[in-house]
Structure formats: C-alpha cells, structure tokens
Chains A and B, each alone.
Chain A
Amino acid sequence: MEGLSIKVKIMKQKKNELKIEIEGESHTLCNVVQKTLLEDNRVDFAGYHIPHPLTASPQLYVRTKGKSKPDTVLKAAVKQIKKDTASFRKELAIASKKIS
C-alpha cells in the first residue's frame, strides 16, 4: 500500500558498534527493536533516543560483544520481530475462525 516510509542513515559504524538514524520513525519501531536486541546475548548494549520530539529522527545504537557484528544482530532482531508479526497473524486467523 505504501512506498518506503522510513529512511535509514548510518551515523557510526565500527567493529562492534553501529548507530543509525531512522527518518520517519518514532518509539513505535525503535522500542520493539531495542527490546529484541537486548534479548540477544551477543548484544552488549542497545538503546535509542530521539534528540527532539518534533524535529528529529530517532537514533538507534547497538554495541556487540566479541566477534559478533552489530549489523548482523540488528538484522537478526528485525527478522525476529517479523516472525512475531507472522505468528500473531496466524494465531489471530485461527482464533477468529474458532469464534465465528
């Protein structure tokens, strides 16, 4: 239904660190990504902040442990949330069939 609604800009990329700016997003996406990152034991630290509530885009930061690459864990987190939406959709379909 929509084109690209968000725009990702790399702000900092090191061996164990990644900071991106997600233009067009807010707490909606960042909070769930942060939470999912923190559940991954390869992640040392994950967080985000919105420099200004009206004019700024959120910045997501992730730091990994050891040899794990930050972009790999971020991609894994996104994949995990996609799995959750898929299973939610499936479960909802089953549940509504049961009730109607």
Chain B
Amino acid sequence: MKVQILDKNDVSVRLLIEGSNAAFMNALRRIIISEVPTMAVDDVVIIENSSALQDEFLAHRIGLMPLKTDLDTYNLPENCACKSEFGCNLCRASLILDVEAENHTITTYSGDFKSENPSITPVSEKIPLAKLAPSQKIRLEAYARLGKGKEHARWQPVSMCAYKYMPIITVNTKLCDLCGDCIKMCPRNILVKKGEKLEVRNTTDCTICQDCVDACQKTPKAIEVKWDENTFIFRLESTGALTPKRIVSEALNILDEKLTDLQSQLKGK
C-alpha cells in the first residue's frame, strides 16, 4: 500500500491510496463516520429561557454545535472508571451560557459559551443560537461528552467523507479531430485544447461521469475514461472537532482494535 497526501488544510485532506481495495476503504469510511468519537453536548439544564425558542429547540441547536475535542484526556462515558450516570471530569465537560438582551435585540452565538475546560470550546464562535429581544434572557448549563456518530450525527467528526477510484483518461490522438465537444461537456474542466493536442489535466478531479465519452461523435470513441480498482482518492472534511490526520489515525486504531478482538476470540475456539 502507498499513501500520498494530495492536498490538505486545517480541516480537510485528500489522500491518494495505491494498492488497496474498496472494502478496506469502505471500512475506514464507515468507521470515520460512525465510530471515531468526538465531543458534543448531550445534556442541557435550562435555568431560564425567555427567548422565542422552546427549550427543546434551543437544546437541539446546542447539541449540533461542533466542539474542539480532546481525545487524550477524556474517556467515553461507557469506558470511564467513574461508572457514574452523571459523569466525572474525565468524561464530561460543562459549558455555561448566560446572556441577556438589555436595550436592543441581540443574537447569541456559540462564542458566548464559557467552558470550564478551555480546550473544550465551540469550533467556531459564530454559530448563531438564538435571537433575544430586549429583556429576554437565556441561562443554561450544557454538558458535553464523547460519543460516536452511530448514536447521533452530532458526534460525527466529519461533515463529509468519501472515496472514489482513480480515473484513467486516455485520448486516442489518431481518432481525435479536436472538435471540442468533450471539452464543453466536462463539468470539471479536465480537458483542454493545447496546441494540436487534447490535454488532460487535474485527473484526480474527474468524477468518471463519462459525459465526455458520450459527447464524442467519433466511432469508435476517441476518448476513453476508465478507473483503477486498486487506487483511490480518499477525501474527508472535518467539522473542526479533530484534525483530519487524527481522524484517519483514530479510524485505523479502531479497525485494528476490532481485528485484535476478532483474533483473540478466534484463538480461544
């Protein structure tokens, strides 16, 4: 197996993986979406809420707010030594929201939360939670804990995670008369005319839609789009809770744990 980083930034990464198979890629994708833990609010104690939003609605918005996650300090509640249904400071973090609109209408944002642990804060300070008219108030305490995406989408570490086969685009220069039909058709602008040649660029952006092949009027077709079943472009976009690299390495650890579990139980039988 060979892994290359095609591009990356703080929240997303694109990997080129050679010598693997779809089943392995899919195992990783499924684990990333549903089993890599992140922090999210799942319990809200509302002390006062005179805003226009009902308590449930407000709690739901708070639950969906991505939080920066510290996987090294916190435990999943089911694995925490405290075994308490209320949690301890190793499996729960509390955040406080205390806002009041005085003379003007205000919007309260995720950034208004005060966290007991400065490393567990909302990923963005600009997520609007509610609008408050003059003299309306919200006072609440929110409890965040680690959880998994399979329980509820608020614990999903990614907003997107997908893979595709590596496209292989070949142009038969003997048949191609540079009519340009395929160039116009391609939604990703992969094909360009360069001098007396049809050039293929940014192949990794191709979606293998075959529109260029359909557009070509020649028989047989002068262009062909195939894919390599053992090479993948794996892309993910983090919510900001964890770094993309951490998400991938956690997923690998989880897959490894599953395999170790299976291995140990097969041995005994």
B23 near A31 with CB under 8 A, answer yes
**In the complex, which residues of chain B have a beta carbon less than 8 angstroms from the beta carbon of A31?**
23, 26-27
Q: Is the CB of B76 within 8 A of A6?
A: no
> Which residues of the partner chain A approach B267 to less than 8 Å between Cβ atoms?
75
Residue A15 lies at the interface, judged by CB distance under 8 Å to chain B: no
Pick from A35, A86, A92: contact of B249, CB below 8 A.
A92
Residues on B with beta carbons closer than 8 Å to the beta carbon of A99: 5, 8
- Contact assessment for A3 and B2 in the assembled complex, using a CB-CB cutoff below 8 Å: no
Bound together, the chains give a CA A28 to CA B259 distance in angstroms of 11
Interface of A: prevailing SS: helix
- B20 CB-CB contact with A under 8 Å: yes
Contact of B5 among A32, A75, A96 (CB under 8 A): A96
Q: Tell whether, in the assembled complex, residue A81 and residue B76 are in contact, meaning their CB atoms are under 8 Å apart.
A: no
Answer whether residue B21 sits at the interface, using C-beta atoms and an 8 A cutoff: yes
Q: How many A-B contacts at CB < 8 Å in the complex?
A: 109
Q: Are A81 and B24 in contact (CB under 8 A)?
A: yes
User: Given the known A-B contacts A92-B3, A99-B8, are A32 and B266 also in contact in the complex, defined by CB atoms under 8 Å?
Assistant: no
Query: Number of contacting residues on A, CB 8 A?
Result: 41
Q: Is B256 an interface residue (CB 8 A)?
A: yes
Interface mask (B243-269 → A, CB under 8 Å = 1, otherwise 0): 001001100110111111111011101
Evaluate whether A32 and B27 lie within 8 angstroms (CB atoms) in the complex, with A4-B261, A92-B3, A95-B3 already known.
yes
A28 in contact with B1 (CB, 8 Å): no
Q: Is the CB of A89 within 8 A of B259?
A: no
A52 CB → nearest B CB, Å? 17
Inside 8 A of B73's CB, which chain A residues have their CB?
Answer: none
Nearest neighbor of B146 in chain A, beta-carbon distance:
A1
Which chain A positions have C-beta within 8 A of B259? Answer: 29, 78, 81-82, 85
Give the Cβ gap from A81 to chain B, nearest Cβ, in Å: 6
Check: B202 CB closer than 8 A to any chain A CB: no
**CB-defined A-B contacts under 8 Å, sample of 10:** A1-B75, A8-B265, A32-B23, A35-B21, A35-B24, A78-B263, A82-B263, A85-B256, A89-B252, A91-B2
